[in-house]
Structure 1
Amino acid sequence: MKLVVVSAGLSVPSSTRLLADRLAAATAGRAPGAVDLRVVELRDLAVEIAHNLTNGFPGRALSATIDDVTSADGLIVVTPVFSASYSGLFKSFFDVLDKDALAGKPVLIGATGGTGRHSLVLEHAMRPLFAYLRAVVVPTGVYAASEDWGVEGLAERIERATGELLALMTALSVPSTRGASASAAPSGAVRGGPEAAVPAQPAPGRADGFRVVPFEEQLAALRA
């Protein structure tokens, strides 16, 4: 699985990057197999993002980053809070993506700020943005205020959120066992033993035997 982390932190060191790294490590550490992890620092792409907004052409580094984000099985996106919302750099990056680039893609949202009073930025700014882009945003977002580092609560939120992200990534990237076995059966084979009367068929709408998992089933799996 390919996991891409987008950090909009501006300072060095950055609490935004620190939160992004902790979320990435928790996700990769719980994955059943190898994870291809890419980390994007938007600070390094600021000039190319500005040029893309004005002339419509991404530079080489920005183009490679867009390819990584578009091809990812899941995203972790983290921004500092500026004026009670995500940063302008964070928004500008997602403005230059194609409108369909994140459709159906699992996304974990995170933010950092100086006070816990800004925690609703996750629900009032970030979640609507990615809902508009038709991404699948995990139920738990992670906000880290200055006082949250090193105290109880943050680690638990990270574990819960990354578990939800990993469940969605797995559900959306791995073909259904039932669909795969049906496609592998010989022509005319029957599912369910001798008593079954329906020939094996690929999943509806897919000629290759892969099954599209409805969003309702994904949510049911997360609740379980």
Structure 2
Amino acid sequence: MKLVVVAAGLSVPSSTRLLADRLAEATRTSLGDAEVRVIEVRELATAIANHLVTGFPGPALADAIDAVTEADGLIAVTPVFSASYSGLFKSFFDLIDNTALAGKPVLIAATGGTARHSLALEHAMRPLFAYLRALVVPTAVYAASEDWGAEGTARTDDLPRRIERAGAELADLMESRARTRRPADEAVVPFAQQLAALRTG
């Protein structure tokens, strides 16, 4: 199973990357085993800008896009600015073909300085991936500054429990999708090829 994590944090160290790593670990734990690759969008910023104006991706950007489109599951994490995802995050996904994520399990998450930005997951990120026809897990994870180390309330889980639940949901969707794929030995044989085999037999 290939799990790709897209982290759009702008600083080093980054709370966005920290959340991305914890979500990846929770998903891998639920899967039992998975190949995990993290794409730091910040490192591709110049290549993304060049691609947007020239239409040609550099090798590193092309490799990142291929990794996202070939993944069995995707974790997408962005910082929130002005109640929406970052421009860099959006620019990266603008370069993904709008059919490449169809049916792909995706876990969305975000970080921000205040809990007031948490609805960005529902009014910005979820519609973006719905447009791309991805299969977004029910639990979206938002981490405000005060969530790190907090115990939560009676109405909301604490951050570790939300991370664990979201990771388990993504793992379930990845495994379910893998089970429904047609095995290679059951591939559909074109009708003309079947007729040719009958004639030679």
Instruction: Report the TM-score when normalising by structure 2.
Output: 0.87
**Structure 2 CA distance for aligned equivalents of residues 11 and 129 of structure 1:** 24
Question: Which residue type is aligned with residue 121 of structure 1?
Answer: A
Which residue number corresponds to residue 211 of structure 1? none
Q: Say whether 1:61 aligns with 2:60.
A: yes
**Structure 1 CA distance for aligned equivalents of residues 34 and 166 of structure 2:** 17
User: 1:54-93, aligned counterparts within 5 Å?
Assistant: 54-93=53-92
User: 1:202-213, aligned counterparts within 5 Å?
Assistant: 207=188
User: 1:132-211, aligned counterparts within 5 Å?
Assistant: 132-152=131-151, 153-175=158-180, 207=188
Q: Say whether 1:102 aligns with 2:104.
A: no
**Structure 2 CA distance for aligned equivalents of residues 131 and 30 of structure 1:** 25
**Structure 1 CA distance for aligned equivalents of residues 139 and 160 of structure 2:** 13
Which residue number corresponds to residue 24 of structure 1? 24
SS across alignment from 1:80: strand
**Structure 2 CA distance for aligned equivalents of residues 151 and 102 of structure 1:** 34
Give the CA deviation at 1:29. Answer: 1.4
Uncovered stretches (5+) of structure 1, i.e. residues with no partner: 185-201, 209-224
Q: Which protein is richer in helix relative to its size? A: 2
Give the CA deviation at 1:175. Answer: 4.0
Instruction: Report the TM-score when normalising by structure 1.
Output: 0.78
SS across alignment from 2:16: helix
Percent sequence identity over aligned pairs:
68
Give the CA deviation at 1:207. Answer: 3.3
Uncovered stretches (5+) of structure 2, i.e. residues with no partner: 152-157, 190-201
**Structure 1 CA distance for aligned equivalents of residues 179 and 47 of structure 2:** 35
Could you list the structure 1 runs, at least 4 aligned residues long, displaced by more than 4 angstroms after superposition. Answer: none
Aligned length: 183
